[in-house]
Structure 1
């Protein structure tokens, strides 16, 4: 059983932007923690390209659209208007939050993998798309090409289109350096490889390595965990279910031990 105040007085880094941080912070505070909101990652739509406009105009020629994140869903539907096509393809998603945001847009996912990992998604999705199928994958500029490469190698026609870019807000760099210098963080929580990269870049720039040695480090997913280890950082918590809720609960369990 998780202690009601398992994070009592612990200062926890919440690496999300204003739009996404609220539920994360509420979860931290529910268990007595103090949330330190510093978005390590932000997203902005790219300028609409001819390739994107063509894909939207010809959306009914695709068999599937694959959404790998809630940001991808939000951004895609900021470009796509329902009257742009008579028929929308079947939709495959990775992630619980991605599916929820999709439902909010009035669409239903036809395929959701048993685990929210790119490799498992690909393995389970391949039987759904026979050779010659046409798949659209909207993505961010830093997204991996694992899904598209795997599908293409099985004879699937894939259009990958970058629709948003990932960056670290400038004011976050200063704020992060300040709280680390002052020892204001007890627990670091990472939700993606990009959040790790941006965090480490600030640590190295300001030579703050010694300031994070006592921090408990938690993360979501094997790719994020791998990136942390590649950067020479320990991983104390990496839950089997890749959600913020499980990361927080698993962190409490780690602290109790």
Structure 2
């Protein structure tokens, strides 16, 4: 039985689990990161750390936020005297493994999902710290401020254009040669950067729609694929595990496995 070849576009430091999942499910992977992440100790992060004791809540939106704080302020997570919200099980697991009590993980692993939980719980007039990348959407801080909360935003890492464009061009060549069966995207930037590098965006979009099974992690990433009129699917639960399981289930159904 043939094994599907799956393209993974995640940043290198977040790709290990995805690659292992593909292999465990019986496939092969081609890793071509379309996004690089770099922890940075910015003035806004220093300001957040300086105001640690005044926080009522802190929100960790990704594992990289925790990585950055551990790198520059290794004592920050110790004796954190505020409530903690996280987006995603992986982020929650990392926080818990470091002794942080997680008070809130929304069922919907998106900024919208977390905001909905804050609204349901009527969390207002709080000081909320959000370390994240500056390129993140404004949905969460703006929504929290509409609930009369004070938000302290801090740039904890940069989302960079991929350093190794060669791997992406190699992936595009493999797609044209029909050597790839499926491609995965786990954030809007993984899609946007992929198409920025492509010389013929319309041709690539047609290939993804007609020759590949395109799978994204959720509807927010799907909106970027919509801009290129690409057919795609995404799981009910927005995790890498569920995304890959849906990919393999769909691929096997289409191949009569």
Q: TM-score range by the shorter chain?
A: 0.7 to 0.9
Instruction: Report what 1:93 is aligned to.
Output: 86
The reply on whether 1:245 has 2:241 as its aligned counterpart is: yes
Q: Deviations over 1:77-107 (max 9, x none)?
A: 3222327986432110010111011123221
The answer as to 2:37 corresponding to 1:10 is no
Q: Which residue of 2 aligns with 1:82?
A: 75
SS at match of 2:183: strand
Distance 1:84 1:142 in 2: 24
Change (3 A) 1:253 1:181: closer
Q: Name the SS of the counterpart of 2:33 in structure 1.
A: coil
Change in Cα spacing, 1:114 to 1:57, as seen in structure 2 (3 Å) is: same
> Residue 119 of structure 2 is aligned with which of 122, 126, 151?
126
Q: Displacement, 1:136?
A: 0.5
Q: Is the 8 A contact 2:41 2:72 kept in 1?
A: no
Tell me which residue corresponds to 1:32.
26
**Alpha-carbon contact 1:188-1:218 (below 8 Å) kept:** yes
The alignment of Structure 1 onto Structure 2 pairs a total of residues equal to 249
Quote the residue 1:149 is aligned against: 142
Out of 213-222 and 179-188, give the one that drifted further: 179-188
Query: Structure 1: how far apart are the matches of 2:101 and 2:80?
Result: 14
Residue segments in structure 1 that go unaligned for 5+ positions in a row: none
With over 3 angstroms needed to count, the CA separation of the structure-2 counterparts of 1:85 and 1:189, relative to structure 1, is closer
Provide TM-score, normalisation by structure 1: 0.87
CA–CA separation in structure 1 for the residues paired with 2:234 and 2:145: 31
Q: CA deviation at 1:183?
A: 3.0
Instruction: After superposing the two structures, state which structure 1 stretch, 109-118 or 79-88, moved more.
Output: 79-88
Partners of 1:84 and 1:245 lie apart in 2 by 27
- State which of 185, 190, 195 in structure 1 corresponds to 2:190: 195
Give the distance between the partners of 2:47 and 2:247, measured in 1 at CA. Answer: 46
Residues 14 and 189 in structure 1, CA contact (< 8 A), matched pair in contact too: yes
Aligned to 1:219: 216
Is 1:232 equivalent to 2:229 in the alignment?
Answer: yes
Corresponding position of 1:66? 59
Q: Which residue of 2 aligns with 1:169?
A: 162
Q: Name the TM-score, length of structure 2 as normaliser.
A: 0.87
Provide the rounded CA distance (Å) in 2 between the counterparts of 1:81 and 1:178: 43
Structure 2 spans left out of the alignment, 5+ residues: none
* CA 25–52 in structure 1, closer or farther in 2 if over 3 Å, else same: closer
Kept after mapping to 1: 8 A contact 2:188/2:220: yes
Q: Check conservation: 2:39, 2:67, Cα contact below 8 A.
A: no
Whole-Å separation in 2 of the counterparts to 1:187 and 1:87: 42
Q: CA RMSD in A?
A: 2.3
